[in-house]
C-alpha cells in the first residue's frame, strides 16, 4: 500500500522535496507510524513543531471544541481566542504588540517590513540596510531569503530585496565592519538551526543590544525554531535576558496548526506599521487562537520547560559519549532539546539507516545530525534513540 501511495504522491506533488520513502499515517506520544504500521521514534517533531507530542487529548479536544464553534472570520473583526492568545504571548515574552501570521517565513516578512517602516518614519528615506548573519536560515519567501545567509538558497531567485549585508555569528567585529549610517536593523537566530545548531553567545548578544541602543537600530531575534521552550527557556534570548525590539515565533507555538507571529515593543509599534501597511487573511483566526491558547496552557500545566531542563542534560551526556566513542563524530553543540552532532563526513547514510531501524532524524547541513524531539520525551526515549544510533554508526 505504501509504495502505491508514494507513486501517487510523486505523480501529483511538485518536486521541491527529496522525501524519505515512507508515508506517515498517525502518531501517539513521541512515536509515529507509517501506513504499513511500522513504528518510529520521532526525534524531529515535525522540525520542532510537535512539542507536546502526538494525540495530546486536551489539545485535540480544544481544537474540536473550537471547530464546532467558529473556525474563521477574517481580521476585520475581533475574536475571543486570538485576544486571549495575544495576552498570553505578551505575558511570556515581555513584548507589547503581536501580529499573527500563518508561518515563520511570514513572521520574518512582517518583521522586516516593520523595521523598514520604522526607519522610513525617522528620515523619510528608503535606502536603509539590514545586517543579517552568514549561515542563517529565515525562510524561503523573497524577503526571508534576502536575510538568509546561504547563497545556495538565494542565487536562483535574485534580485531579492537588497540592502542586506552579512556578518558572522558571534563575531562582533564582523558586525561593525558591515555597520553604516543606513543600518536600520540587525537580524539573527538566537540559535542557528539549519546553519549547524550554533547558539549566539551571551557576549555577542549583549554587544549587539548595546550597539542597537546606541545607534537606534532595531534588534530582531528569530525564535522560530529555538523558541517555545526548546532550549530550556521559553525563548532562547531569555537565558541572557537580551530582549529584542522585534521577535519572530512559529513552529511549536500552535502545536501543529500552521501559525506564527511577530511581536514588538510599544516603541516600535507606535512608529512603524499602521492600518493598511500589513495584513493576512488566515493569520490569527479563531482556530489558531484556540490552538495557541491551549499550547500555552499545557506548557504551564505539564511543566514542559522543567522537563526540557531535566531531560536535556541527560541527552547532552549521552551525545557526548557518542563523540568520545566514535572518531568520526567531531563534537556536539546546541542548547536544551535542540542538539547537533558534527561528523567529519556527510550524514545522509546514517539518517537513512536510522529510519530503517525505526528512528526519525534530520540533518542541519550536510555533516550534522540534528535532534529536535518532542519536549515531552523522557530519559528512556533518549536511551532508545542512542541504542538505534549506535547500531547505525557501527
Q: Which residues, at least 6 apart from 275, have a Cβ–Cβ distance to it below 8 Å?
A: none
Taking alpha carbons only, the member of 134, 144, 104, 245 closest to residue 198 is 134
User: What pLDDT does 1 receive?
Assistant: 85
- Sign of the torsion formed by the C-alpha atoms of 57, 62, 65 and 71: negative
Give the whole-angstrom CA distance, residue 9 versus residue 344: 34
What's the per-residue H, E or C state across 18-41? CCCCCCEEEEEECEEEECCCCEEE
Residue ranges in the chain modelled with pLDDT below 50: none
What is the enclosing helix (H) or strand (E) of 9? Answer: helix 2-12
Give the whole-angstrom CA distance, residue 67 versus residue 342: 44
Cis peptide leading into residue 89 (ω within 30°): no
Local structure of residue 54 (DSSP, 8 states):
B
pLDDT tens digits, 252-282: 999 999 999 999 999 999 999 999 999 999 9
The domains found in the chain, sorted by start residue, are: 2-56+303-393 (3.90.1150.10), 70-301 (3.40.640.10)
Q: Answer whether 168's CB lies under 8 Å from 124's CB.
A: no
Give the whole-angstrom CA distance, residue 336 versus residue 2: 35
Q: For 139, what's the count of Cα atoms within 13 Å in the CB-facing half-sphere? A: 25
What is the SS3 assignment for 371? strand
Taking alpha carbons only, the member of 72, 45, 91, 26 closest to residue 290 is 72
- Sign of the torsion formed by the C-alpha atoms of 100, 105, 107 and 110: negative
Could you write out the DSSP letters of every residue in 55-113?
--HHHHHHHHHHHTT-----TTS--HHHHHHHHHHHHHH--SEEEEESSHHHHHHHHHH
Q: Answer whether 228's CB lies under 8 Å from 51's CB.
A: yes
User: What pLDDT does 394 receive?
Assistant: 87
Could you write out the DSSP letters of every residue in 179-247?
--TTEEEEEEESEESTTTSEEPPHHHHHHHHHHHHHHT-EEEEE-TTTTTTTTSSSSGGGGTT---SEE
Amino acid at each position: 500500500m505504501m509504495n502505491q501511495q508514494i507513486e501517487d504522491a510523486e505523480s501529483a506533488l511538485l518536486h521541491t522535496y527529496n522525501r524519505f520513502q515512507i508515508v506517515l499515517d498517525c502518531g501517539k506520544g513521541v512515536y509515529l507510524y507509517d501506513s504499513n504500521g511500522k513504528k518510529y521514534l520521532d526525534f524531529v517533531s515535525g522540525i520542532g513543531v510537535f512539542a507536546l507530542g502526538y494525540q495530546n487529548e486536551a489539545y485535540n479536544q480544544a481544537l474540536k471544541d473550537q471547530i464546532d464553534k467558529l473556525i474563521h472570520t477574517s481580521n476585520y473583526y475581533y475574536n475571543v481566542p486570538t485576544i486571549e492568545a495575544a495576552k498570553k504571548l505578551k505575558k511570556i515574552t515581555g513584548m507589547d504588540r503581536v501580529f499573527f501570521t500563518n508561518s515563520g517565513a511570514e513572521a520574518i516578512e512582517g518583521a522586516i517590513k516593520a523595521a523598514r517602516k520604522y526607519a522610513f518614519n525617522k528620515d523619510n528615506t528608503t535606502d536603509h540596510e539590514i545586517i543579517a548573519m552568514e549561515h542563517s536560515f529565515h525562510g524561503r519567501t523573497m524577503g526571508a531569503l534576502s536575510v538568509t545567509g546561504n547563497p545556495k538558497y538565494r542565487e536562483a531567485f535574485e534580485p531579492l530585496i537588497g540592502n542586506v549585508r552579512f556578518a558572522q555569528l558571534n563575531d562582533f567585529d564582523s558586525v561593525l565592519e558591515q555597520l553604516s549610517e543606513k543600518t536600520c536593523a540587525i537580524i539573527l537566530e538566537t540559535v542557528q538551526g539549519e546553519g549547524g545548531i550554533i547558539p549566539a553567545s551571551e557576549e555577542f548578544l549583549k554587544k549587539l543590544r548595546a550597539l542597537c541602543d546606541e545607534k537606534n537600530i532595531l534588534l530582531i531575534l528569530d525564535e522560530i525554531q529555538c523558541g517555545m521552550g526548546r532550549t530550556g527557556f521559553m525563548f532562547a534570548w531569555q537565558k541572557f535576558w537580551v530582549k529584542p525590539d522585534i521577535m519572530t515565533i512559529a513552529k511549536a507555538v500552535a502545536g501543529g496548526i500552521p501559525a506564527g507571529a511577530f511581536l514588538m515593543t510599544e516603541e516600535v509599534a507606535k512608529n512603524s506599521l499602521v492600518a493598511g501597511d500589513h495584513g493576512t487573511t488566515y493569520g490569527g483566526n479563531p482556530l489558531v487562537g484556540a490552538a495557541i491558547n491551549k499550547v500555552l496552557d499545557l506548557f504551564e500545566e505539564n511543566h514542559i520547560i522543567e522537563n526540557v531542563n531535566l531531560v536535556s542534560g541527560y541527552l547532552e551526556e549521552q551525545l557526548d559519549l557518542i563523540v568520545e566513542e566514535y572518531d568520526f563524530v567531531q563534537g556536539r553543540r546546541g542548547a536544551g532539546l535542540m542538539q547537533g552532532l558534527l561528523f567529519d563526513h556527510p550524514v545522509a547514510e546514517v539518517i537513512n539507516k536510522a529510519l530503517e531501524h525505526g528512528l526519525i532524524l534530520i540533518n542541519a547541513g550536510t555533516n550534522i545530525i540534528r535532534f529536535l524531539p518532542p519536549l515531552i520525551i523522557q530519559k528512556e526515549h533518549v536511551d532508545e534513540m542512542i541504542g538505534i544510533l549506535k547500531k547505525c554508526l557501527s
